[in-house]
Amino acid sequence: MKKVREMAKGSLLLRMENSYNVASWYGGQEVLTGKIMTIDEVTQVIENVTMEDIKRIAGDLFKTEKLNLAIVGPIKDDGSIAKLMKF
């Protein structure tokens, strides 16, 4: 989790070095939420994310009983994909 947090914060800070991205940041927040958060506020939100939060959201996103998978490429029919997916 520490690596993910640091990567998210670093990526955010790097994006803020470009004036177009800064304008997009403020404009997007205003249009989508009606509230503008500072960089410090967003980094604090990132710090507060827990593994339980991620599991809960992933559970909500993948709640469906039947998921579909598409694989593109040369695949040998030796069961290797099924082994990877634990079938």
Mean pLDDT over each residue of the chain, to the nearest integer: 87
The pLDDT of residue 75: 72
Tell me the pLDDT tens digit for each residue of 35-74: 999 999 999 999 999 999 999 998 888 776 677 777 777 7
Is the pLDDT at 31 greater than 70? The verdict is yes
Task: Give the Å distances, CA to CA, from 87 to 38, 75, 79, 80.
Answer: 46, 17, 9, 10
Domains of the chain in start order, with CATH, are 2-84 (3.30.830.10)
Token pair recorded at residue 69: 């998978």
pTM to 2 decimals?
0.64
Is the pLDDT at 84 greater than 80? The verdict is no
